[in-house]
Amino acid sequence: MNKYLSYPEGYNKLVHDMLPFYLRPAKKMLMRLLLVILRDG
Amino acid sequence: MNKKELQKERIALFRDAANFKHVDRIPHLGCVVTWKILDAGYTLSEAMTNFDVLEKSVRYFLDKYPVDAMLDIGIRNQFNVTEAFGTPGYYYYNDEVVGIHDHAYCTVDTLMDFLNDPDRYTWEKILPEKYGEDWKKKDLATWKKTFSEYMKYTKFVLKMASVTGKEYGLPSMAPNNPMKGSIQFAIEELEANLLGIKGLSLALRRNADQLETFVRGWDEQHIDPIIEEIKKSNGPSEKYCFDASIMMLAHNLLRPEQFERFYWPSLKKLLDAYADKKMNVRIFAEGSILRYADYFKDYPKGVLTFHIEKDDPFEFRQAFPNACIMGGMTTDMLYMSSPEECVDYTKKLCDELGKDGGFIFSENKMLSYKNDAKSENLLAVCEFLNSYKM
């Protein structure tokens, strides 16, 4: 079972695992645009 | 003149034209997207995920065609990100064309779910439905690869802003999100993504009250905060050619009474806020906007610049005497006519529409396909515009 599928738990875990620590403070802004690209693109 | 001074001069040129002040020459917005890749000798397949090719295509265009600003500096598509994710999305391309499949994220009944928590709705509904069984298989390695491409894309956006600004003296058009474009109204988002063209057309007839509730909720989240920012601003910014950029397409689907109900209240309150601050808004009115001229008639000169597509510019001037016209040159003429005919028509546009400001030259469509223009025609027009004194 993919541990990232639920929201918000899985989503938050993905953000934590995927982003380098120095980018985590900007996670809200970074993830919003990435999701828009994957959603609309 | 150094590039920074050139940038300032071009901004002043756009601003003066938009404010119906006399200009020494007519500014030219290059409304060019993928055509420049083909003109530079590449296929779209070679360019779409290759930032070196995209940069070379932009440089090739700017070295050859001396426009004053560009609609797209090579950053419109993010195929490198979606391809890294590994499953095809809505956009597609081949050697000659970029296209998009009609799609819908919601039904009328789930619109408010999207509005109330877009991130949750995207994660739980849109992405699983879009990517199907593949969605469940996306592991950390895939996500990291996708994120890495996303960072490369972000760096490319910044690089191209620097290349076009510092090396070519091109100004930025408007202070919007450079990656996702312009201000989005509810009805446009409904048409483009949430319901799709077919879904919106049906909902306008069957579910008007639900749509209206959604539109008001969207405004609270997306339009009203912009208005608050405008109220706090100091008026026009000399860093940009315009103070805002709006794209209109969905009005073509609407009957006048539907425009009045679903579009105009949102658009009017935003335009009123810009007008109060004497700021100028560029509206890319795809299709035809002529039949809605009466709605815009009370705005003073200097607030509205309409980039027109299908409307005849001379007819538009009669209907919208208070709005600056951007556009005029058709892709049909740029491909079918001779350089001399293109220059003659450009001169007519400048003389009849731009004597006292109020006209900015551009192409009527985003140049995308090979047959949207002949190189020698665009070149002749660019050279004429640069040398013709008003």
**Secondary structure (DSSP) of B268-318:** HHHHHHHHHTT--EEEEE-S--GGGGGGGTTSPTTSEEEEESSS-HHHHHH
Closest-CA distance of chain B to residue A9, Å? 11
Confidence of residue B182 (pLDDT cuts 50, 70, 90): low
pLDDT at res. A1: 75
- pLDDT of residue B338 exceeding 90: yes
Closest-CA distance of chain B to residue A2, Å? 6
Three-point CA angle B359, B13, B331, nearest 5°: 45
For tokens 């030259």, the residue is: B361
- pLDDT of residue B180 exceeding 50: no
Q: Do B119 and A5 touch (CB under 8 A)?
A: no
Confidence of residue B107 (pLDDT cuts 50, 70, 90): very high
Give A9's contacts in chain B (Cβ within 8 Å). none
pTM of the model: 0.94
- Please check whether residue A41 touches B, CB under 8 A: yes
Q: How far apart are CA B302 and CA B299, in angstroms?
A: 8
Q: Do B193 and A40 touch (CB under 8 A)?
A: yes
Backbone angles phi, psi at B98, to 5 degrees: -110, 130
Confidence of residue A33 (pLDDT cuts 50, 70, 90): confident
Please give the average per-residue pLDDT across B68-85, as a whole number: 94
pLDDT at res. B178: 42
Confidence of residue B176 (pLDDT cuts 50, 70, 90): low
Can you tell me the ipTM of this complex? 0.96
Task: Compare B182 and B235 and report the one with higher pLDDT.
Answer: B235
> Residue ranges of the domains in chain B?
3-28+111-134+165-387
* Fold that domain B3-28+111-134+165-387 belongs to in CATH: TIM Barrel (3.20.20)
Q: Which of residues 1-40 of A touch B (CB under 8 A)?
A: 2, 4-5, 7-8, 11, 14, 17-19, 30, 32-40
Bridge partner list, B326: B307, B360
Please give the average per-residue pLDDT across B85-89, as a whole number: 92
| Selected residue of A6, A9, A22, A37 to mutate for chain B interface (largest B Cβ count, 10 A) | A37
> Which among A4, A7, A34 has CB closest to B147?
A34
Give B91's contacts in chain A (Cβ within 8 Å). 41
